[in-house]
Amino acid sequence: MPTEALQFARQNQSRFLDQLKELLRIPSISTLPEHRGDVRRAAEVLAAELKRIGMENVQLIETSGHPLVYADWLHAAGKPTCLCYGHYDVQPPDPLEEWISPPFEPTERNGNIYARGAVDDKGQMYMHVKALESLLHAHDGKLPLNVRLILEGEEEVGGEGIAQFVREHPERLRADFSLVSDTEMFAPDLPTLCVGLRGMIYTEIEAHGAATDLHSGIYGGAAPNPFFALCQVLAQLKDANGHILIPGVYDAVVPPSAEELKAWASLPFSEEEFLHNEVGSCALTGELEYSVLERLWARPTLEIHGMPGGFIGAGAKTVIPAKAIAKVSMRLVPEMEPQKIFNLYKQYVESLCPSGISLDVRLIHSGDAIVIGVDNPYIEAATAALHQVFGKDTVFIRSGGSIPIVGDFERSLKIPSIMMGFGLPDDNLHAPNEKFCIANFHRGIESLIHFFEMLGAEGHGEA
């Protein structure tokens, strides 16, 4: 017999989805200044909903950037406190012409809901809200455990606001563990907990040559070209075998344990399928001496994202641009320190600067890599909850992506994080046609209800 909270969630499935669609219609793109108002509107809609379902102390907390949404319910004396985290901001939707239905008009197709933010992270964050609503409704406005909930609106731009808040007010987020639903399952129907994330540094290299744009016929051959300079620099950052060439960059890298490697080797993974169904290129690249999963989860990498500048319109323009930019990031693994790595990177890039060019190397944002121990009662309750819903044992994976605040939770709040995500490998995060499997939205809500009910039951006191 399902609990009352589960019954409520099942009876309200279509309303939950409709409400998610409302949220998905708001283009809360944190990186674009013209969407500032939309980001705030998303925060306000969430705050209003949290009040309506019976959460307490609901408030928007202002930051240097977009607001945080906070709520709590702290009356379960003697029970553990969970810090629910999610983000309501999204990545830009471009290229728009690649979307089958428009990014901010959520559309159902073959059991999925398509929209920017469907899985990353509005849909997943909203599972927390709807699990809490179900529990509050079923228990006369009470929860089985204590909950604080914090939602940020700038995860996709580095999360500086929440990081500062956590550093300055750790007591306001005091909890026994955090719960994050912003990751993926390893395969459909395979319950998954993510226990490791890569860190990152995101940088820009700005190259300056001539004082102004120049005619490339009159000056070409004698004047420096900042794009060429960037190409020369970038080409020396990584070799053809995927090795980063920055001196000292690998010094701190801690390889995964033999146990972890063994577990990864037994995951249902086919390099062929990954290549054809997910990547879609003619070959995989990188450090071939490591397995694909090791390359993605436990090795640092360096990527170029875009090179703004010069002439990019249709047709031809013969110009030597005065300046050019390269956006470059590195993914980091434990124990690489972002600031140290940035210093090594900056020093090396500057040492490669061609004659006639000046380079400005700057850090846009950074975050730590993290690996989470699996030996705690919250992991145990999470696997038991997932077993209830999926009828299978949970696999533990790492992910190559980054969620900067998880490291801060560990360092500033000294709590472990449970990363229980319900995304799928083909959900198109940050890409056109992002989607969330609707069944996973509902299974996620049910898993969270089980999880909270288990932690509220006897035997799970305060840590």
Query: Where does this chain bind ligand BES (CB under 6 A)?
Result: 120-121, 155-156, 158, 182-184, 200, 365, 367, 399, 401-404, 429
Which residues, at least 6 apart from 222, have a Cβ–Cβ distance to it below 8 Å? none
Applying CB under 5 A, does 434 fall inside the site for Mn ion?
A: no
Secondary structure of residue 433 in the 3-state scheme: coil
Q: Least distance from C-beta 406 to Mn ion, angstroms?
A: 11
Touching Mn ion, residues 67-126 (CB under 5 A): 120-121
Nearer to Mn ion, 67 or 421 (CB): 421
Cβ(321)–Cβ(310) below 8 Å: yes
Q: Pick what 334 binds: Mn ion, ligand BES, none; C-beta below 5 to 8 Å, kind-dependent.
A: none
Q: Least distance from C-beta 458 to ligand BES, angstroms?
A: 34
Following DSSP, what letter does each residue of 335-348 receive, concatenated?
T--HHHHHHHHHHH
Q: Pick what 433 binds: ligand BES, Mn ion, none; C-beta below 5 to 8 Å, kind-dependent.
A: none
Cβ(149)–Cβ(70) below 8 Å: yes
Q: Pick what 260 binds: ligand BES, Mn ion, none; C-beta below 5 to 8 Å, kind-dependent.
A: none
Cβ(46)–Cβ(133) below 8 Å: no
**Which residue in this structure is represented by tokens 């819903």?**
389
Q: Pick what 404 binds: ligand BES, Mn ion, none; C-beta below 5 to 8 Å, kind-dependent.
A: ligand BES
The closest alpha carbon to 183, from 202, 173, 196, belongs to 196
Nearer to Mn ion, 134 or 366 (CB): 366
Q: Least distance from C-beta 405 to Mn ion, angstroms?
A: 10
Per-residue string for binding with Mn ion, 155-184, x by CB under 5 A?
Answer: ---------------------------x--
Q: Least distance from C-beta 337 to ligand BES, angstroms?
A: 16
| Amino acid occupying residue 69 | V
Name the residue number minimizing CB distance to ligand BES: 401
Nearer to ligand BES, 135 or 180 (CB): 180
* 191: preceding bond cis by omega (within 30 degrees): no
Nearer to ligand BES, 235 or 364 (CB): 364
Nearer to ligand BES, 81 or 329 (CB): 329
Q: Residue 69: enclosing H or E segment and its boundaries?
A: strand 68-73
Q: Least distance from C-beta 269 to ligand BES, angstroms?
A: 15
Q: Least distance from C-beta 417 to ligand BES, angstroms?
A: 12
Distant-in-sequence contacts of 290-296, Cβ < 8 A, 24+ apart: 291/264, 291/265, 293/264, 293/267, 293/269, 294/256, 294/261, 294/264, 295/242, 296/399, 296/400
The closest alpha carbon to 265, from 235, 243, 292, belongs to 292
Q: Least distance from C-beta 340 to ligand BES, angstroms?
A: 18
The token pair that represents 320 in the structure block: 């030597």
Nearer to Mn ion, 122 or 295 (CB): 122
Q: What does the alpha-carbon distance between residue 408 and residue 167 come to, in Å, rounded to a whole number?
A: 8
Nearer to ligand BES, 404 or 416 (CB): 404
Report the b/e string of 271-303 with b at 16+ CB within 10 A.
eeeeeeeeeeeeeeebbeeebbbbbbbbbbbbe
The token pair that represents 59 in the structure block: 């408030």
Q: Pick what 407 binds: ligand BES, Mn ion, none; C-beta below 5 to 8 Å, kind-dependent.
A: none
Q: Pick what 448 binds: Mn ion, ligand BES, none; C-beta below 5 to 8 Å, kind-dependent.
A: none
Q: Least distance from C-beta 331 to ligand BES, angstroms?
A: 8
Residue ranges binding Mn ion (CB under 5 A): 120-121, 182
